[in-house]
């Protein structure tokens, strides 16, 4: 399932996938795979993404 | 193959490893020998190594069965062993390119591409020489020239896989 929350949060901060990937220390393709729902990140990476986007785990990764 | 040829091949292998270490140090952006991968890349590369391992096991089993049946292939023994290694590495490479996990986080892609082109040229020269001299076959068996040719094919499958991936629309485009 696509993670549109992550995509919109990233866009809201005016960050490209590449920018977010560099902040989190992963490849751009990994961020793309998370947004497309092709990859389930570990809690460590989820936290890194949340910190980079100033969001909580619930806000980005909890399915409604 | 006599003892001198074996010693020469072993020396060449050691020198090759030393050169590879120097190249890795030079081509990685943080000048570390080890290429760094993120968690998704590590998982997928692990799967790639598994497929590569199974490929080599199957290949060696086939070679074993042929050997037990005393069926000789039109290739020197070292060519057959080399083909097994190339096949295994090829599976890992294709799987890595297909799943966007070929490049590590600290790889300088431009430098790597230059090295791949240089390696292709280095392998192309003996292939041309063997082709001209008709040395692909030695006593009816594939010989040294074929080793270089298989290396060229091995180097070519990475950009080829990338192109096919792009053609079938599997390329992970930036969704910015």
Closest CA to A6 of A64, A49, A40: A49
Report chain B residues whose CB lies below 8 A from the CB of A17.
Answer: 174-176
CA B89/CA A38 separation, integer angstroms: 26
CB contact under 8 A, A28 and B174: yes
Indicate if ipTM > 0.85: yes
Flag whether residue A42 sits within 8 Å of chain B, measured between CB atoms.
Answer: yes
Q: Pull the structure tokens for residue A27.
A: 């490849």
In chain B, what are the domain boundaries? 3-166
Matching residue, tokens 């809201």:
A12
Q: What is the pLDDT along chain B (176 residues), one digit of tens a residue?
A: 588 888 988 898 899 889 888 887 888 888 888 889 999 999 999 999 999 999 999 999 999 999 999 998 888 888 999 999 999 999 999 999 999 899 889 888 888 888 888 888 888 888 888 888 877 788 888 888 888 889 889 989 988 999 998 888 766 656 55
CA B89/CA B169 separation, integer angstroms: 25
Flag whether residue A18 sits within 8 Å of chain B, measured between CB atoms.
Answer: yes
Q: Pull the structure tokens for residue B173.
A: 């485009």
């Amino acid at each position: 399932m696509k993670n549109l929350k992550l995509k919109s949060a990233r866009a809201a901060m005016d960050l490209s996938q590449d920018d977010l990937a560099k902040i989190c220390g992963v490849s751009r393709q990994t961020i793309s795979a998370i947004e497309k729902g092709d990859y389930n990140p570990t809690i460590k990476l989820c936290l890194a993404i949340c910190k980079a986007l100033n969001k909580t785990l619930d806000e980005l990764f909890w399915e409604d | 193959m006599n003892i001198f040829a074996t010693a020469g091949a072993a020396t060449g292998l050691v020198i090759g490893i030393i050169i590879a270490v120097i190249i890795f140090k030079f081509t990685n952006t943080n000048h570390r020998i080890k290429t760094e991968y993120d968690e998704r890349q590590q998982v997928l590369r692990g799967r790639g190594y598994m497929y590569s391992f199974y490929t080599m096991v199957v290949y060696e089993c086939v070679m074993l069965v042929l050997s037990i049946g005393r069926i000789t292939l039109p290739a020197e023994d070292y060519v057959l062993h080399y083909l097994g290694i190339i096949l295994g590495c090829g599976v890992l490479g294709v799987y890595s390119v297909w799943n966007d996990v070929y490049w590590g986080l600290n790889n300088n892609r431009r430098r790597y591409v230059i090295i791949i082109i240089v390696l292709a040229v280095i392998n192309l020269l003996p292939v041309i020489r063997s082709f001209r001299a008709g040395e692909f076959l030695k006593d009816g068996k594939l010989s040294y020239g074929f080793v270089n040719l298989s290396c060229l094919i091995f180097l070519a499958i990475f950009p080829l896989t990338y192109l096919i991936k792009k053609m079938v629309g599997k390329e992970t485009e930036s969704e910015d």
